[in-house]
């Protein structure tokens, strides 16, 4: 048996594991794994630098399956290469709590670098990973000591390339000359609706050349040597300063090996069926039973020794690096572990002290920049950016440097590419070595929303800076005014949404976001100035709880709760109420998810249920029902905004201190009337106060 | 004064109206209007077919300003051309309730065809408009009677072309050969962060040629004759069957006319300032006061006579058409008005009767297809599609025809382009003549979210079919399982979100969505089968109210409310409770926004406040606090999903009938304990029941 035959048999092992696992699960996508098996075999056995025994080794190549529905391909590769993914897990494909979920999920399966499935985003992640590699190399490598030197490979299908995010990500990758990014396009001409010609007939080569990529076109995706040659060619220029990312276009047949379904959409997303599987075994001359892999193929696939060698070689290199650059080596490893510098706490405290003493009104976006000015210079791992709104988001701090094609700097002008930015940030965080943050207007979180969700699902430390967070942005009008976005982001499980009220809360928000290693954060910041609030000495701790009593004025008969720019308004209303003889409690709720994680006792102390509650937020009111109940009241904005100066809009939407005081007063009276002794649900109030 | 000078003076009138209005508003974006003034002058005075006196005339050309921040350019054009937009409105630019909001808004300003601002979406709208034109022409034009024959022009900036949606929209436009779509690129090399070269250096010509567009490159955007020649060239092939859409790349100088700020990002988004405006007047030799336009320029700009002539000519043509094709003409006008066929009510009733009599369990996505099968053949204006999930969304009905490059058909395979699809649907609806609907998985509503929002802001009749609406989709896992999406879509003001429980509710949802002329609808549909519910005779009316009592079983001591696939579960739980001696009321809430619009009396009758309430929805629980209050309970999914068969997931997330009955029972007991006489807020329950 010659080499080609062995390679084809190795690829067929991927095909059969795929169809058998999918058949057993009665669910899954055989088409892409069968079509890409030869490509995967060539890449994984002849090029990919990885160690199945140490999947987290820093200088490994990154492999991303952007067409995540091809998950069984990846599981078969990991299993056969020797990762800790036994055949029993492949037999539990798509079953509850198996290590082989329907789409690849980072953190569940060793060797899976990112969670994919939502098309195009894996490609965006890969761009982030390749960027992180370039930046880390520029920062840490020293002559003869290239401790950061790896490739990022990404498989993409037609779906990924139709998605808009592929444009954002690849245009950026071309501009930034990410030469160690190698994408392999599974050009099988089929998507779920059938032959793509009717809805997708781009000249993809021309398109990517227009982005400044190398394109290796017309590769036979079932010829292992042709694939190997293309990968060699792609890698050959990857080290050039003027190198380009590479797209390898492979012509493939979807479902290759299935005699009756290959080449059609029928093989995309459903099990082949017992009969067709039997015929597939015949066509591929595969005599083995389901989940049975012959020993010679197991040996040929086993990457553990080769992987351990590569890793050991790197460890020796790193040992030499450590000797000659001990401080750099220490910092490199610290950042790999995701730990913060030792003096981080001191820097935060100094910032807090300054902000606690500050007396001038400031926009929270400006306070955010002040936080960055204070913390950024001491956090070399911070990698900032904005989707072309730097001067509005105020995301660039003093002394931070815009990075360009030279890959030196810590601030990226992402261009007008919100979704691409968010997906790249996920890739940067997944790669390790950096804490990415990026800015846009809150309304345009809509554009990046699914990538924010993916960060939450993957538990990534990424920080979204969403400024211009309400009608307070004024004249730009309803297209730019967030109404539903704060509430809507709060629905994403695992995302901490901050809407700080002043410079002190903003500083704490930044601290918590940076310290939060296992979750993304979104900072919702005002365009307009916010009031200076009076804080207690232990304010930082209270704020970090996500909700706290900011001020008690008189004997509270009503509870006011607010976030962000409305806390100042509520505070002024509290003063008015006091002057009218009505005592109240003011609760600031900068981060409701953190508040929800506090003890029941703490929450009850902050929000005593016997007090009627009025929530004030310049956003959709429904969210606040959770805290005020049906018989409380909410002042918000349940319609789209308007184009006008901000102060006028606050009057138009009845969100001034006077309006709040009036509503609070009414609530007190209604409450007293309805509950002579104890609080009772009152349906009239329920239905009238929204 | 020769022609060129006049044209330049006409363009300068746009420039000065822009800078003066922005200065007065102390807010706005002068850069793009000043840079595109010459282009706009050439297009609007030499090419655009429009009638300021009748802005809604069906066969007018459509003009879209995708770079919507250049709003003052459009307002100046409309004002000078003779639209009902007096100078007093330009003087109230960006003021509350003026006709000149910060970004152009359809429905507020005569002549504005779509609301733009969120970048790239105007381009997507334009693709939809150009598609609608092609389809309507194919459907209605007859030899010698081309009653539909107009162009769609769209201005785009660097931002639009960086956005991913530009890829989706333009790749689709190229595939569909939308030859009457003419885009003009304001290639000024500047975006908000500065010179775009650092983050955007696509070969845009190559990119668009790869999409199958004509590209007219290197046009001097300040030479009216060069622009005119390019527009002529673009139009010359627009009528060819094999014609292509055209991109005209104009080199321009942002802020042209401002001596010190032109060519820099400083002129993008802030008033020039009095001093710079004075110098601009000098440079442009513009001696006139703010908002003053000399008579010769007013005359040169006035498009009313030319516009009325063009429109009258069309009306004559249409009169001939009416004579030879009276039925077609009647249908054309009916569809222009957005009215439904006379027999629509009968068709709906027949469908309802069938579904009320149906006895087999069905997935609501399947029920949706049944509704389309029944209604589609009688609604020629229905224009369906899916973002490459036709067989999963079940969006294509019997006998509907996939359209291709021949522009005949009523079903579009949009490709994997959710955002592009949604923006194109908005354009189709704006154009008139069609009611667009399109499908994808609910989770991927994230991708299209801002276009769904824009449909709501514009009050457009578009229908989103979002299937696979919960953990019920099963094995595809958390990337594909909506958890927060139903709640999150319900936050968009003006969007009706339906989550029907069975085939009957699905039929009513379709009816209401189709009848809802002034708002978009989203239909959230199950992958899995749902129970057959027993409905009363007047079910259709009840369902249309958005929430109604489905069944009372015993004397209600607890209220169960649910949506979609969970209504069947709640119904089974109700039976269990009854057998345990606990009476209950079951409320189905297929469309909460419609329910909220009912009278307070109706809502109180459906949800009596004295009954403790338990909401069940396989989605984020917070939303339901609005209806159950703090002392009710919600059974939902507040985490990400898992990959497993659907039935297993319902058990894992404790959403079976048994779980619901248990929780309801507990709620009854807690309620009785806490409220011996009347309902009282109980904080323990509040904090434990989420």
What are the sequence ranges of the domains in chain B? Answer: 4-309, 343-530, 546-674
| Residues of B whose CB is below 8 A from A392 | 192
pLDDT band, very low/low/confident/very high, at B3 (cuts 50, 70, 90): low
**C-alpha count within 13 angstroms, C-beta hemisphere, residue B368:** 39
Interhelix angle for B164-175 vs A164-175, to 10°?
Answer: 120
pLDDT value of residue A237? 87
pLDDT, mean of residues B396-420: 94
pLDDT value of residue A677? 59
Using the predicted structure, report yes or no on whether residue B259 has a pLDDT greater than 50.
yes
Contact: B484, A491; criterion CB under 8 Å: yes
pLDDT value of residue A404? 83
pLDDT value of residue B239? 79
Would you call A302 exposed, middle or buried from its count of C-beta atoms within 10 A (0-12, 13-18, 19+)?
Answer: middle
| Residues of A whose CB is below 8 A from B402 | 198
pLDDT value of residue A3? 56
Nearest to A450 among B209, B446, B608 (CB): B446
Contact: B389, A193; criterion CB under 8 Å: yes
Contact: B629, A626; criterion CB under 8 Å: no
pLDDT value of residue B240? 82
Give the model confidence (pLDDT) of A591-624 as tens digits: 999 999 999 999 999 999 999 999 999 999 999 9
Question: In this complex, how many residue pairs, one in chain A and one in chain B, have their CB atoms less than 8 Å apart?
Answer: 390
Go through A319-352 and write b for each residue having 16 or more CB atoms within 10 A of its CB, e for each that does not.
eebbeebeebbebbeebeeeebeeebeebbeebb
To the nearest whole Å, the CA of B632 is away from the closest chain A CA by 9
| pLDDT means over runs of 10, chain A (690 residues) | 78 98 98 98 98 98 98 98 98 98 98 98 98 97 98 98 98 97 97 94 98 98 97 91 93 98 95 98 96 98 98 98 98 98 97 96 98 98 98 96 90 98 98 98 98 98 98 98 98 98 98 97 98 94 98 97 98 98 98 98 96 97 93 96 98 98 96 67 32
Share of chain B above pLDDT 90, in %: 94
Contact: B622, A211; criterion CB under 8 Å: no
The CATH-assigned architecture of domain A546-674 is 3-Layer(aba) Sandwich (3.40)
Do the strands B583-588 and B548-553 form a parallel or antiparallel pair, or are they unpaired?
A: antiparallel
pLDDT band, very low/low/confident/very high, at B686 (cuts 50, 70, 90): very low
Using the predicted structure, report yes or no on whether residue B2 has a pLDDT greater than 90.
no
Give the model confidence (pLDDT) of B577-614 as tens digits: 999 999 999 999 999 999 999 999 999 999 999 999 99
Closest alpha carbon within chain A to B625: A626
pLDDT value of residue A502? 98
Choosing from B418, B505, B566, B670, the catalytic residue is: B418
Closest alpha carbon within chain B to A491: B484
Fold of the domain spanning B343-530: Rossmann fold (3.40.50)
Length of chain B as a residue count: 690
Q: Which residues of A are catalytic?
A: 418
Q: Mean pLDDT for chain B?
A: 95
pLDDT, mean of residues B117-142: 97
CATH for A4-309 is 3.40.50.970
Contact: A168, B162; criterion CB under 8 Å: yes
- Which among A422, A637, A648 is positioned nearest to B492, based on CA atoms? A637
Nearest to A638 among B166, B194, B493 (CB): B493
- Which among A422, A418, A398, A394 is positioned nearest to A410, based on CA atoms? A398
The domains spanning B343-530 and B546-674 adopt the same CATH topology: yes
- Which among A490, A525, A522, A482 is positioned nearest to A636, based on CA atoms? A482
pLDDT value of residue B241? 75
Mutate which of A23, A117, A119, A162 to disrupt the B interface (most B C-beta within 10 Å)?
A: A162
| Residues of A whose CB is below 8 A from B649 | 96
pLDDT value of residue A230? 98
- Retrieve residue A442's tokens: 């809150």
Contact: B491, A488; criterion CB under 8 Å: yes
pLDDT value of residue A462? 98
C-alpha distances (whole Å) from A462 to each of A128, A339, A608, B479 are 12, 14, 34, 18
| Residues of B whose CB is below 8 A from A171 | 162, 200, 202
DSSP assignment, residue B463? Answer: E
Give binding residues of A as ranges.
29, 69, 117-119, 158-159, 188, 190, 268, 365, 392, 444, 468, 476, 480, 527
Give the model confidence (pLDDT) of B277-329 as tens digits: 999 999 999 999 999 999 999 999 999 999 999 999 999 999 999 999 999 99
Query: Measured between alpha carbons, how far is A296 from A284 in angstroms, rounded to an integer?
Result: 17
SS (H, E, C) A280-323: HHHHCCCCCCCCCCCHHHHHHHCCHHHHHHHHHHHHHHHHHHHH
pLDDT value of residue A405? 83
B190 touches B85 (CB < 8 A): no
Closest alpha carbon within chain A to B96: A644
pLDDT band, very low/low/confident/very high, at B167 (cuts 50, 70, 90): very high
pLDDT value of residue A337? 97
pTM for this prediction: 0.97
A521 touches A627 (CB < 8 A): no
Question: Could you give the ipTM of this predicted complex?
Answer: 0.97
Lowest mean pLDDT among A403-417, A648-662, B351-365, B666-680: B666-680
| Residues of A whose CB is below 8 A from B404 | 198
Contact: A175, B609; criterion CB under 8 Å: no
Using the predicted structure, report yes or no on whether residue B489 has a pLDDT greater than 60.
yes
To the nearest whole Å, the CA of A225 is away from the closest chain B CA by 29
| Residues of B whose CB is below 8 A from A199 | 172, 175, 388, 413-415
Beta strands in A447-582 (DSSP E): 463-467, 496-498, 521-525, 529-530, 548-553, 556-562
Contact: A210, B191; criterion CB under 8 Å: no
Largest CA distance in chain B: 94
| H helix runs in B65-120, sequence order | 71-81, 87-90
Mutate which of B626, B654, B679 to disrupt the A interface (most A C-beta within 10 Å)?
A: B626
């Amino acid at each position: 048996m010659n080499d080609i035959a062995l390679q084809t048999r190795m690829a067929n092992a991927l095909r059969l594991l795929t169809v058998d696992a999918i058949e057993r699960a009665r669910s899954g996508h055989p088409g892409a794994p069968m079509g890409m098996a030869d490509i995967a075999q060539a890449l994984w056995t002849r090029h990919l630098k990885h160690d199945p025994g140490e999947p987290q080794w820093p200088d490994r190549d990154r492999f991303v399956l952007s067409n995540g529905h091809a998950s069984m391909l990846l599981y078969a590769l990991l299993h056969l290469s020797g990762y800790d993914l036994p055949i029993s897990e492949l037999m539990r494909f798509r079953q509850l709590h198996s290590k082989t979920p329907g789409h690849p999920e980072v953190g569940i399966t060793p060797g899976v670098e990112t969670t994919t499935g939502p098309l195009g985003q894996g490609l965006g992640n890969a761009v982030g990973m390749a960027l992180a590699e370039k930046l880390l190399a520029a920062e840490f490598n020293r002559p003869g000591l290239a401790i950061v030197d790896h490739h990022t490979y990404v498989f993409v299908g037609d779906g990924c390339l139709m998605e808009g995010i592929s444009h954002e990500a690849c245009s950026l990758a071309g501009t930034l000359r990410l030469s160690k990014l190698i994408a392999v396009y599974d050009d099988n001409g089929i998507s779920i609706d059938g032959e793509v010609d009717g809805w997708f007939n781009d000249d993809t080569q021309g398109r990517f050349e227009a982005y400044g990529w190398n394109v290796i076109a017309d590769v036979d995706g079932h010829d292992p040597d042709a694939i190997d040659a293309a990968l060699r060619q792609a890698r050959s220029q990857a080290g050039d300063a003027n190198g380009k990312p590479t797209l390898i276009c492979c012509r493939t047949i979807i479902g290759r090996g299935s005699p009756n379904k290959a080449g059609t959409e029928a093989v995309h997303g459903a099990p082949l069926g017992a009969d067709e599987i039997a015929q597939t075994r015949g066509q591929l001359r595969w005599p083995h039973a389901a989940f049975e892999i012959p020993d010679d193929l197991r040996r040929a696939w086993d990457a553990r020794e080769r992987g351990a060698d590569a890793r050991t070689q790197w460890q020796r290199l790193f040992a030499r690096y450590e000797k000659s650059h001990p401080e750099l080596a220490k910092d490199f490893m610290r950042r790999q572990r995701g730990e913060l510098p030792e003096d981080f706490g001191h820097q935060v405290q100094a910032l807090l002290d300054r902000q606690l003493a500050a007396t001038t009104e400031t926009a929270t976006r400006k306070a955010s920049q002040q936080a960055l000015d204070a913390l950024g210079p001491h956090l070399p791992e911070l990698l900032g950016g904005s989707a072309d709104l730097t001067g509005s988001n105020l995301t660039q701090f003093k002394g931070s440097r815009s990075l360009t094609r030279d890959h030196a700097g810590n601030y990226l002008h992402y261009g007008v590419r919100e979704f691409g930015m968010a997906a790249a940030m996920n890739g940067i965080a997944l790669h390790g070595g950096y804490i990415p943050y990026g800015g846009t207007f809150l309304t345009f979180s809509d554009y990046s929303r699914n990538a924010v969700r993916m960060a939450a699902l993957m538990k990534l430390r990424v920080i979204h800076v969403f400024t211009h967070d309400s009608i307070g942005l004024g004249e730009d009008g309803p297209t730019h005014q967030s109404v539903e976005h704060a509430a809507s982001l709060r629905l994403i499980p695992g995302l901490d949404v901050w809407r700080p009220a002043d410079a002190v809360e903003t500083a704490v928000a930044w601290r918590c976001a940076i310290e939060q290693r296992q979750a993304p954060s979104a900072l919702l910041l005002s365009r307009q100035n916010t009031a200076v609030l009076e804080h207690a000495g232990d304010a930082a701790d209270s704020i970090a709880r996500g909700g706290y009593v900011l001020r008690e004025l008189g004997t509270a008969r009503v509870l006011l709760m607010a976030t962000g720019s409305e806390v100042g308004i509520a505070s002024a209303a509290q003063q008015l109420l006091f002057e009218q003889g009505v005592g109240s409690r003011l609760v600031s709720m900068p981060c409701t998810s953190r508040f929800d994680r506090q003890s029941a006792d703490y929450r009850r102390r902050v929000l005593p249920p016997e007090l009627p509650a009025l929530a004030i937020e310049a956003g959709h009111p429904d969210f606040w029902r959770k805290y005020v109940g049906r018989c409380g009241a909410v002042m918000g904005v349940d319609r789209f905004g308007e184009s006008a100066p901000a102060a006028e809009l606050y009057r138009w939407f009845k969100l001034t201190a006077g309006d709040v005081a009036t509503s609070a007063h009414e609530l007190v009276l209604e409450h007293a009337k309805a509950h002579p002794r104890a609080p009772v649900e009152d349906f009239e109030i329920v239905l009238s106060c929204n």
